[in-house]
A and B are shown apart, each in its own frame.
Chain A
Amino acid sequence: MKTAVLVFPGSNCDRDIAVALEQVTGTAPAMVWHAETALPDGIGLVAVPGGFSYGDYLRAGAIAARSPVMRAVVEAAGRGLPVLGVCNGFQVLTEAGLLPGALMRNAALSFVCRDAPLTVENADSAFTRLYEQGEQVAFPVAHHDGNYFADDTTLDRLEGEGRIAFRYATPINGSARDIAGILNDRGNVLGMMPHPERRIEAAHGGTDGRRLFEGLIETVGA
């Protein structure tokens, strides 16, 4: 499967996710600079990486979400192309309107950098199909703005439609209903604060993250 990784000024997990994608797919992803106006042909996934795009100026992810390449991503997501946003990538996807809600400063105001135990809330999505419903996994988190906010109507809809993909097993940042990752209504866009790409090989301390990418390959087809 061919994949693409977006690169913004200030992205810093673009190489981590590129390594993960290359390991799992066998093909190095195309690295796509934010100023591009089109995505490469024939890709099965766009990854929006973590980092501090544009120094988190204005709001985390706000400027990146208005960059030329994001217009192509919004259009491709509308056609059903899988899009994965991790950490700053999740913030970018909410700012771009591909996912509901917003990510605010952590409730305790402190940067959180540690392993986060998570519960898989939806094991039926293209991204989570190789996990068990209710399974506990642990991915690293490293963020200052991971406090998920949405109004109660939106939260109830996310719950009712099975669009909460991952929940923190214990609260870490004040997120509404302990939300760690959500899907769009069609299920082809996943945004999450924890980093599955940092749990790919034994040397990372675990391989829980690998199945997310493997499941996606199964869905999209190699």
Chain B
Amino acid sequence: MKLKVYVTLKPGVLDPQGRAIHHALGSLGFAGVEDVRVGRLIELTVADDTDDAAVEAMCRQLLANTVIENFRIERA
């Protein structure tokens, strides 16, 4: 079974990378970009009987740092 885990910065946490990309988009002439936030996509291939609680534990214990990040699990 394939899973996608999206890890994103919590609202309110400053994202210097996103800001730099935002700035660069402006330099390229793309107008109207209001904000850029950078996250991470982690693709997992797991045993079919892996339950939701186990995946959530993986996210909480390692894949995301819940001090600064949120995560969302998507089943393929």
Contacts and interface: CB of A to CB of B under 8 A. Distances in A.
A102 B69 CA distance: 10
Contacts, number: 35
Interface in B51-66: 61-63, 65
Given A102-B67, A150-B67, A107 B16 contact: yes
A102 B68 contact: yes
B16 A174 contact: yes
Contacts of B20: 109
B65 A62 contact: yes
Give the dominant DSSP class at B's interface. helix
Interface string B10-46: 0001101100100000000000000000000000000
Interface residues of B, number: 11
Interface of A: 58-59, 62, 66, 94-95, 100-102, 104-109, 147, 149-150, 174
Give the 6 A-B CB pairs with smallest separation, nearest first: A102-B67, A102-B68, A107-B16, A109-B16, A105-B16, A109-B20
25 contacts: A58-B63, A62-B62, A62-B65, A66-B61, A66-B62, A94-B67, A95-B65, A100-B67, A101-B67, A102-B65, A104-B13, A104-B16, A104-B68, A105-B17, A106-B16, A107-B16, A108-B16, A109-B16, A109-B17, A109-B20, A147-B16, A149-B13, A149-B14, A149-B67, A174-B16
Interface of B: 13-14, 16-17, 20, 61-63, 65, 67-68
Given A58-B62, A62-B65, A149-B68, 19 more contacts: A62-B62, A66-B61, A95-B65, A102-B67, A102-B68, A104-B68, A105-B16, A106-B16, A107-B14, A107-B16, A108-B16, A109-B16, A109-B17, A109-B20, A147-B16, A149-B13, A149-B14, A174-B14, A174-B16
